[in-house]
Amino acid sequence: MTLDAQVLLQQARSGNEKALGQLLESYTRYLTLLARVQIGRRLQGKVDPSDVVQETFLEAHRQIANFRGNSEGELVAWLRRILAGQIALTLRRFLGTKGRDLKLERELAAQLDQSSEILDGGLVASNSTPSQHASRREQALLLADALDRLPEDYREVIILRHLEGLSFAEVSQRMERSEDSVQKLWVRALANLRRSLGGAP
């Protein structure tokens, strides 16, 4: 966690709403990407992931006094748990079920953790030395930001292939393109992502 983030977290815990807003804002793209993967798997096109993230932030505002962690990893894990609860709530609304489903929330939390691990791993191989890398957690945030800047088709093919774990045949169905064009798009998208992250072309 950067010194700035540490200061913001301390201020947020002592009731500074502005500090909490700034802190949460830095995780918007990361959480939106994770939400999009889960929502894409279950409610394609029916829910805007950014709406779920906004609900997550509202819940984080309500619960910040209960957060006990000190590291960025703990903060991000806490936010992912809240996000899992909000996605479960959204699914319940769409499926018309009434009661809270703890099993679904645990399943969603595990899947969000898995998606996050893929992001933490960098998704794109790099030849940089460890000293040239940001921390793994920062890498996940940088990657989410870089994905957000990609053209929509590039972003879509990477998310479907790497984060949703679909085969090229499944990606081609979802994107309504031929498998060959999806594979070519995927290669271009990864090259573009590497450039965006400052890696070799």
| Whole-number pLDDT of residue 42 | 66
| More confidently predicted of 4 and 68 | 68
Q: What is the pTM of this model?
A: 0.74
Output 92-98 pairs: Cβ under 8 A, ≥24 positions apart.
Answer: 94/43, 94/46, 94/47
Give the H or E element holding residue 40.
Answer: helix 28-42
Q: Do 8 and 23 touch, CB atoms closer than 8 A?
A: yes
Domain boundaries, the chain: 3-123
| Whole-number pLDDT of residue 54 | 95
Can you tell me the distance from the alpha carbon of 36 to that of 30, in angstroms, rounded to the nearest whole number? 10
Please enumerate in sequence order all residues whose Cβ is within 8 A of that of 194, keeping only pairs 6 or more positions apart, or say none. 124, 126, 200, 201
CA-closest candidate to residue 72, choices 115, 35, 24: 24
Residue 11 pLDDT > 80: yes
Q: What is the CATH class of 3-123? A: mainly alpha
* pLDDT single digits (tens) 40-62: 766 666 788 899 999 999 999 99
* pLDDT single digits (tens) 121-136: 656 544 444 433 345 5
Question: Rounded mean pLDDT of 12-34?
Answer: 88
Confidence of residue 36 (pLDDT cuts 50, 70, 90): confident
Instruction: Give residue 129's region: left, alpha or beta (phi > 0; psi -120 to 50).
Output: beta
Can you tell me the distance from the alpha carbon of 159 to that of 5, in angstroms, rounded to the nearest whole number? 28
Question: In the predicted model, what is the mean pLDDT of the chain?
Answer: 81
Helices and strands counted in the chain (H then E): 10, 0
